[in-house]
């Protein structure tokens, strides 16, 4: 969610006439988002590098999308009729700063910008699964405890295809993720003023996301980690709810972790989704921040109701064992503090270090407070504190 309000440049102009003007709240939100996001433009299409050099760092991102295709390697904000699969090799520039995406203005220069250096579409699901399984089975792709893992990332609101793709590559690179990552790119319009269109796209994408999760659990992976951001968290939770409803309340056994980042999700809705799932995955983490300005606007649009992502009171979540991670002391690199967990250099460094040293269990101790000064010695933002609380719900019978 880091682009300016621009209703003049889009393939899908008819979306605007349908979804703009749904009342004063929507209009006000358009104006507020436009003002807050101005000056942070990102490209609206996938851009290939014409030349590369051998020393470039590259990240491979697998993609499953229900967007409408435009050409062989790009997709717009329209809703497609089926899931399409592909993979992309994305170069990371030597000047890359942790948490950032170095956007090209025109033709990308791999020395300065993120760029696609190769795209491979798959005409059949079987071909995609074959390539994904090869990546999963690569010895260097194992987790710290030697497990074969598949990771799924679901982007948030106001995200065009290229932004979701580059964001997945940025996360994979900055966190040092070796397991293959699949991006589920759902048809967000990629425009701040089309929040309601995006919400409807979430509803239209639930079944297809559930199909992708099932496909990953039927791969060679021994464990599957599901990560979602912003409005993508509602999409993921709805897909998991549907999967549980069709399987006597159970999720696939291979789903070992769910990570929700800045959830744009009503707390009551979240609690109702959780009630359907009998047994939660081993690790269930929710990153929240009181300083999330995007969720403040979302709360206003929803009638001043709290979103999960700006709620730091873990007692409002009516389910045991969910780790609520308060990152309010950190500043995100996106200006709105809506992507703090993936754009704050200090927080990325801390979480990366914990993951690589196998310290995930540190995020499952009630009331844990981990000081950055214990983990990092070269940051200018010391001391900052990561506060983790584990829910201990008392349900009314």
Q: What is the pLDDT of residues 287-341, one digit of tens each?
A: 999 999 999 998 888 777 789 999 888 999 999 999 999 999 998 888 899 999 9
State the pLDDT at residue 38: 41
Region of poorest pLDDT, from 70-74, 171-175, 183-187, 215-219? 70-74
> Cβ–Cβ contacts within 10 Å for residue 282, how many?
13
| Residue among 136, 205, 126, 134 at smallest CA distance from 164 | 205
Per DSSP, 14 falls in state H
Query: How far apart, in whole angstroms, are the C-alpha atoms of residue 33 and residue 4?
Result: 8
φ/ψ (deg, to 5) at 2: -140, 50
Name every residue whose Cβ is closer than 8 Å to that of residue 83 and which is 6 or more positions away in sequence. Answer: 64, 65, 66, 125, 208, 211, 212
State the pLDDT at residue 384: 63
DSSP helix/strand/coil, 87: strand
Average pLDDT value for residue range 377-393:
60
φ/ψ (deg, to 5) at 128: -60, -45
Q: Helices 267-276 and 231-245 meet at what angle, rounded to 10?
A: 30
Greatest Cα pair distance in the chain: 64
Name every residue whose Cβ is closer than 8 Å to that of residue 36 and which is 6 or more positions away in sequence. Answer: 293, 335, 336
Above pLDDT 90, what percent of the chain?
A: 66
What is the pLDDT confidence band of residue 2, given thresholds at 50, 70 and 90?
A: very low
Is residue 56 packed enough to be buried (19+ CB in 10 Å), middle (13-18) or exposed (0-12)? middle
Average pLDDT value for residue range 158-179:
97
φ/ψ (deg, to 5) at 149: -130, 145
What is the pLDDT confidence band of residue 393, given thresholds at 50, 70 and 90?
A: low
State the pLDDT at residue 25: 52
Cis peptide, bond prior to residue 383, ω within 30 of zero: yes
DSSP helix/strand/coil, 339: coil
| Residue among 143, 133, 252 at smallest CA distance from 182 | 133
State the pLDDT at residue 374: 39
Query: How far apart, in whole angstroms, are the C-alpha atoms of residue 126 and residue 108?
Result: 32
pTM score: 0.87
**Assigned token pair, 130:** 């074959």
Q: At 151, which helix (H) or strand (E)?
A: strand 149-154
Query: How far apart, in whole angstroms, are the C-alpha atoms of residue 221 and residue 195?
Result: 35
Pair 37, 3: CB distance under 8 Å: yes
State the pLDDT at residue 376: 35
State the pLDDT at residue 164: 98
More confident residue, 165 or 384: 165
How would you label 163-185 residue by residue, b for 16+ Cβ within 10 Å and e otherwise? bbbbbbbbbbbbbebbbbbbbbb
Please, what is the end-to-end C-alpha distance for the chain in angstroms? 40
Q: Which domains does the chain have, with CATH numbers?
A: 14-390 (3.40.50.1820)
Average pLDDT value for residue range 30-47:
58
What is the pLDDT confidence band of residue 155, given thresholds at 50, 70 and 90?
A: very high
Q: Is the pLDDT reported for residue 262 higher than 70? A: yes
DSSP helix/strand/coil, 269: helix
Q: Is the pLDDT reported for residue 183 higher than 90? A: yes
Query: How far apart, in whole angstroms, are the C-alpha atoms of residue 287 and residue 242?
Result: 23
Query: How far apart, in whole angstroms, are the C-alpha atoms of residue 370 and residue 211?
Result: 37
Query: How far apart, in whole angstroms, are the C-alpha atoms of residue 77 and residue 272?
Result: 29
Parallel, antiparallel or unpaired: strands 283-288 and 255-261: parallel
Query: How far apart, in whole angstroms, are the C-alpha atoms of residue 176 and residue 108?
Result: 24
Is residue 316 packed enough to be buried (19+ CB in 10 Å), middle (13-18) or exposed (0-12)? middle
Name every residue whose Cβ is closer than 8 Å to that of residue 267 and which is 6 or more positions away in sequence. Answer: 305, 306, 307, 308, 311, 316, 317
State the pLDDT at residue 363: 52
Count CA within 13 A, CB hemisphere, residue 303. Answer: 1
Entry field: residues in the chain: 397
């Amino acid at each position: 969610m880091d682009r300016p309000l621009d209703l003049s440049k889009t393939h899908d102009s008819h979306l605007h006439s349908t979804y703009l003007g749904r009342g004063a709240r929507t209009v006000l939100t358009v104006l507020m988002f436009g003002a807050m996001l101005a000056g942070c433009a990102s490209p609206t299409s996938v851009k290939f590098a014409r030349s590369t050099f051998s020393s470039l760092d590259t990240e491979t991102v697998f993609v499953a999308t229900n967007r409408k295709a435009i050409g062989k390697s790009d997709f717009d904000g329209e809703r497609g009729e089926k899931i399409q699969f592909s993979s992309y090799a994305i170069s990371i520039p030597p000047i890359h700063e942790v948490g950032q995406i170095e956007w090209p203005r025109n033709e990308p220069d791999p020395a300065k910008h993120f760029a696609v250096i190769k795209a491979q579409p798959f005409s059949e699901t079987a071909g995609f699964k074959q390539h994904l399984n090869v990546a999963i089975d690569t010895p260097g792709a194992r987790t710290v405890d030697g497990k074969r893992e598949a990771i799924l990332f679901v982007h948030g609101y106001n995200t065009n295809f290229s932004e979701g793709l580059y964001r997945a590559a940025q996360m994979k690179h900055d966190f040092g993720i070796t397991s293959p990552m699949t991006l589920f790119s759902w048809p967000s319009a990629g425009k701040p003023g089309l929040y309601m269109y995006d919400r409807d796209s979430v509803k239209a994408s639930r079944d297809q996301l559930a199909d992708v999760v099932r496909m990953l659990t039927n791969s060679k992976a021994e464990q599957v980690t599901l990560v979602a951001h912003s409005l993508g968290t509602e999409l993921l939770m709805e897909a998991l709810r549907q999967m549980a409803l069709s399987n006597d309340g159970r999720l696939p056994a291979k789903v070992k972790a769910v990570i929700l980042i800045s959830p744009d999700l009503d707390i009551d809705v979240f609690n109702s989704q959780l009630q359907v799932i009998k047994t939660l995955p081993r690790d269930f983490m929710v990153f929240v921040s009181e300083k999330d300005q995007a969720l403040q606007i979302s709360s206003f649009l929803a009638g001043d109701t709290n979103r999960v992502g700006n709620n730091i009171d873990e007692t409002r979540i009516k389910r045991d064992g969910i780790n609520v991670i308060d990152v309010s002391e950190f500043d995100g690199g996106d200006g709105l503090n809506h992507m703090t967990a993936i754009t704050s250099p200090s927080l990325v460094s801390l979480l990366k270090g914990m993951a690589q040293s196998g310290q995930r269990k540190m995020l499952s101790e009630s009331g844990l407070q981990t000081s950055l000064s214990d983990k990092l010695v070269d940051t200018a933002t010391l001391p900052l504190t990561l506060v983790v609380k584990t829910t201990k719900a008392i349900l009314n019978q």
